[in-house]
C-alpha cells in the first residue's frame, strides 16, 4: 500500500488505492462506485484548493455517498479501472476531508478539489465537474451544494465589476450614501414604447434613480427594443435636465443571438446611456463574461436579473444562490438581484443578508447558519450593488435597510405603480421612505410629513424595522442552538429557517 504526503497537508496520511468489489444498488442493477478511497480526514485544504460544502442523502451509508460524489466529480468512475495510476490519483482526485452524519445515510460533507484538476481559465469546465453529473447519480436521493470557496488564484482570471462605488459616484450618492430606489415598468409586457416611456418619466420625476425593463421584455412587436430605448432615454434626458439628478435606465439586451446583444450594447453606449440589463442565469456564464467585459470597455454598468435561478436554488437537488452570487460578482455584474427577505420572493432576512454580504464584502466568514464557507476576494474584485426586488413597497423599506444597510438598490414594481395616486406618487413614496430609513427615521414618522408615503403605507401596509431586527437577532442569539438542531435534523431543519418574513406586517 503506497504512502504519499498529501498536498496541502502538514501531516502524512495513508492514501488507500485498493481494489474493492463492486456492490449492487438496492434500487437497480447499476453498480456502486468502488475501487478507490477518497475520504481523508487528515487532509487540510491548501489556499489554492476549491472547497465545496454539500448536503447529501441516499440509500447507501453516508461515507459511500461521499466517495461516489468525490469520484464522479474528479478522477473516478463506478469501478476500479486499469488505467488509473499513482500520479493521477495522488495529484488530481477530490479529497473528502469532513463527513458530518445526521443519519447513517445522510449528512453534510466537505470536499476539497486541487487547483490542477481544473482548466482554471474556463468556468464552464469547473461547473461541469463540480456541479455536473453528480446530480444524476442513482445513489443519491438528495444533493444540495451549500457553498463553494473559490481560491484567489482562480479569481485572477476574472475582471470583476466596475462596482457599487462607481455607480454611487455617477448618481451623486457617494456622499449621503442613501439607498438607491428604482422600479420595473408594469405591466410586464404589452405597453407601447410611448406608453412605457411615459411610465418611466413619471417614475423618474417622482424621484427614482433607476427604471428597468422586466426580465421577459426585450424586442416584442408591440414594443420594439430600439424604439422603446429611444423613447425612455429621451424621457430620462428630460428629467435629468429638469431635476439636475442623474438617472439610469437598465434596458434588457438579452437574446439568443450574440450579434443582436452586441449591437444593442453598442447602440446604448453610442447614445450616451450608462447601463444595460442582462438575464444572467438563462444567458449562461460564458455570455455574462463576454457581455460584462464588453460593457465595461464601453463604460456601461451591467444590471443582472436572475430569472430562472430558483430551479437550482430550491428543493432537494441543486445549489445555493450564494454560489451564483459569487460567480456573477467575479464575472463582472455591477448590480445583482439577491432577494428581499421581506417581499414576495423566497429567502429569510438572515439568508438574504448573507447574500448581500457575498456581493459586497471582501472577506466571508465560515458559519453553520445560514451556511457559508470562509473566502476572501482578490483586491481587484470590486463590490457589486445588491438589488432587493420582488413584492416591495414603501412600507417595507425600513425592513430592507435593516437587512442590507444603506448599500442596497430597492426596486418596487407594483409597489410604485399600484400606489393609489399612480406612478409618480408611488415613486415619491419610495424615495421618501429610503431617505428616512437611511437617517434612522421611522417610516411612520416620515409619513406624517409626506402625503404620498402615508398613502402608500395605508394602502400596502407597514413592517417596522424592529420586526425584521427581531428575526435577525433570533438567528444570531440562537446560533449554537440552531446549528445543533441542523446537525441533528439535517437540511430539512435548515429549510425551516429559510422563510421570507410575512410582508403584511402590522
Q: Respond yes or no: is residue 459 known to be catalytic.
A: no
85 contacts 92 by C-beta, under 8 angstroms: no
Peptide bond into 490 cis (omega under 30): no
Strands 50-58 and 140-149: antiparallel
- Could you say which DSSP state residue 218 is in? S
pLDDT 10s digits, 371-384? 899 999 999 999 99
pLDDT 10s digits, 182-230? 999 999 999 999 999 999 999 999 999 999 999 999 999 999 999 999 9
Predicted local distance difference test score (pLDDT) of residue 500: 54
Rounded-to-integer distance, Cα 270 and Cα 42, Å? 57
Domains along the sequence of the chain with CATH: 18-155 (3.30.70.150), 164-467 (3.20.20.110)
Predicted local distance difference test score (pLDDT) of residue 381: 98
Residues in the chain: 506
H helix runs in 332-442, sequence order: 349-360, 397-404, 414-417, 423-438
pLDDT 10s digits, 149-176? 999 999 999 999 999 999 999 999 999 9
43 contacts 6 by C-beta, under 8 angstroms: yes
- For all residues of the chain together, what is the average pLDDT? 90
Rounded-to-integer distance, Cα 382 and Cα 327, Å? 13
Q: Respond yes or no: is residue 21 known to be catalytic.
A: no
Predicted local distance difference test score (pLDDT) of residue 504: 40
Q: Which listed residue (305, 354, 383, 454) is catalytic?
A: 305
CA 24 to chain CA mean position, Å: 39
153 contacts 161 by C-beta, under 8 angstroms: no
Q: What is the value of pTM for the model shown? A: 0.90
Rounded-to-integer distance, Cα 180 and Cα 406, Å? 8
| Residue 76 pLDDT level (bands cut at 50, 70, 90) | confident
454 — alpha (psi -120 to 50), left (phi > 0) or beta?
alpha
211 contacts 409 by C-beta, under 8 angstroms: no
Report helix angle 193-205 to 225-243, nearest 10: 20
CA 201 to chain CA mean position, Å: 30
Least Cα distance to 183 among 198, 163, 204, 197 occurs for: 204
Rounded-to-integer distance, Cα 115 and Cα 370, Å? 27
pLDDT 10s digits, 218-277? 999 999 999 999 999 999 999 999 999 999 999 999 999 999 999 999 999 999 999 999
Predicted local distance difference test score (pLDDT) of residue 303: 98
Predicted local distance difference test score (pLDDT) of residue 498: 66
pLDDT 10s digits, 298-318? 999 999 999 988 888 887 899
Name the phi and psi angles at 169, rounded to 5. Answer: -65, -40
Q: Which listed residue (186, 212, 289, 296) is catalytic?
A: 186
436's grid cell: 428616512
Strands 106-113 and 50-58: antiparallel
110's grid cell: 466537505
Q: 3-state class of 10 per DSSP?
A: coil
Least Cα distance to 335 among 179, 446, 450, 207 occurs for: 179
368 contacts 146 by C-beta, under 8 angstroms: no
- Could you say which DSSP state residue 504 is in? T
Per-residue pLDDT at 142 exceeds 80: yes
Q: Which helix (H) or strand (E) holds 452?
A: helix 451-460
Amino acid at each position: 500500500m503506497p504512502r504519499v504526503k498529501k498536498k496541502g497537508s502538514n501531516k502524512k496520511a495513508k492514501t488507500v488505492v485498493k481494489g474493492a468489489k463492486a456492490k449492487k444498488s438496492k434500487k437497480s442493477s447499476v453498480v456502486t462506485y468502488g475501487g478507490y478511497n477518497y475520504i481523508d480526514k487528515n487532509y487540510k485544504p491548501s489556499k489554492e484548493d476549491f472547497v465545496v460544502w454539500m448536503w447529501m442523502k441516499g440509500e447507501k451509508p453516508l461515507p459511500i455517498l461521499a466517495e461516489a460524489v468525490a469520484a464522479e466529480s474528479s478522477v473516478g468512475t463506478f469501478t476500479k479501472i486499469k488505467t488509473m495510476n499513482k500520479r493521477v490519483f495522488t495529484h488530481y482526485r477530490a479529497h473528502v476531508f469532513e463527513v458530518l452524519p445526521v443519519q447513517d445515510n445522510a449528512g453534510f460533507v466537505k470536499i476539497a478539489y486541487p487547483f490542477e484538476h481544473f482548466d482554471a481559465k474556463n468556468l464552464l469546465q469547473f461547473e461541469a465537474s463540480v456541479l455536473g453529473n453528480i446530480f444524476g447519480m442513482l445513489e443519491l436521493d438528495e444533493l444540495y451544494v451549500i457553498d463553494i470557496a473559490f481560491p484567489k488564484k482562480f479569481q485572477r482570471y476574472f475582471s470583476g465589476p466596475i462596482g457599487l462605488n462607481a455607480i454611487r459616484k455617477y448618481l451623486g450618492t457617494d456622499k449621503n450614501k442613501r439607498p438607491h430606489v428604482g422600479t420595473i415598468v408594469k405591466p410586464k409586457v404589452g405597453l407601447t414604447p410611448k406608453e412605457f416611456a411615459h411610465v418611466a418619466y413619471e417614475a423618474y420625476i417622482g424621484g427614482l434613480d433607476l427604471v428597468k425593463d422586466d426580465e421577459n421584455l426585450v424586442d416584442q412587436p408591440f414594443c420594439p427594443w430600439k424604439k422603446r430605448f429611444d423613447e425612455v432615454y429621451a424621457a430620462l434626458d428630460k428629467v435629468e435636465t429638469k431635476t439636475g439628478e442623474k438617472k439610469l435606465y437598465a434596458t434588457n439586451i438579452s437574446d439568443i443571438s450574440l450579434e443582436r446583444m452586441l449591437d444593442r450594447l453598442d447602440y446604448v453606449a453610442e447614445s450616451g446611456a450608462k447601463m444595460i440589463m442582462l438575464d444572467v442565469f438563462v444567458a449562461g456564464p460564458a455570455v455574462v463574461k463576454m457581455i460584462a467585459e464588453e460593457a465595461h470597455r464601453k463604460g456601461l454598468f451591467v444590471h443582472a436579473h436572475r430569472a430562472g435561478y430558483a430551479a437550482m436554488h430550491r428543493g432537494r437537488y441543486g445549489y445555493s444562490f450564494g454560489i451564483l452570487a459569487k460567480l456573477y460578482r467575479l464575472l463582472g455584474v455591477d448590480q445583482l438581484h439577491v432577494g428581499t427577505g421581506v417581499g414576495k420572493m423566497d429567502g429569510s432576512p438572515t439568508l438574504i443578508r448573507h447574500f448581500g454580504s457575498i456581493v459586497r464584502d471582501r472577506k466571508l466568514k465560515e458559519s453553520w447558519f445560514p451556511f457559508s464557507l470562509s473566502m476572501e476576494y482578490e483586491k481587484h474584485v470590486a463590490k457589486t450593488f445588491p438589488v432587493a426586488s420582488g413584492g416591495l413597497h414603501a412600507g417595507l423599506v425600513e425592513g430592507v435597510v435593516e437587512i442590507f444597510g444603506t448599500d442596497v438598490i430597492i426596486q418596487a414594481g407594483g409597489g410604485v405603480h399600484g400606489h393609489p395616486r399612480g406612478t409618480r406618487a408611488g415613486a415619491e413614496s419610495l424615495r421618501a421612505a429610503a431617505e428616512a430609513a437611511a437617517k434612522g427615521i421611522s417610516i411612520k414618522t416620515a409619513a406624517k410629513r409626506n402625503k404620498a408615503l402615508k398613502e402608500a403605507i395605508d394602502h400596502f401596509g407597514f413592517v417596522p424595522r424592529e420586526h425584521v431586527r427581531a428575526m435577525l437577532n433570533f438567528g444570531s442569539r440562537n446560533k449554537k442552538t440552531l446549528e445543533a438542531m441542523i446537525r441533528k435534523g439535517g437540511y430539512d431543519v435548515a429549510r425551516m429557517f429559510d422563510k421570507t418574513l410575512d410582508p403584511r406586517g402590522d
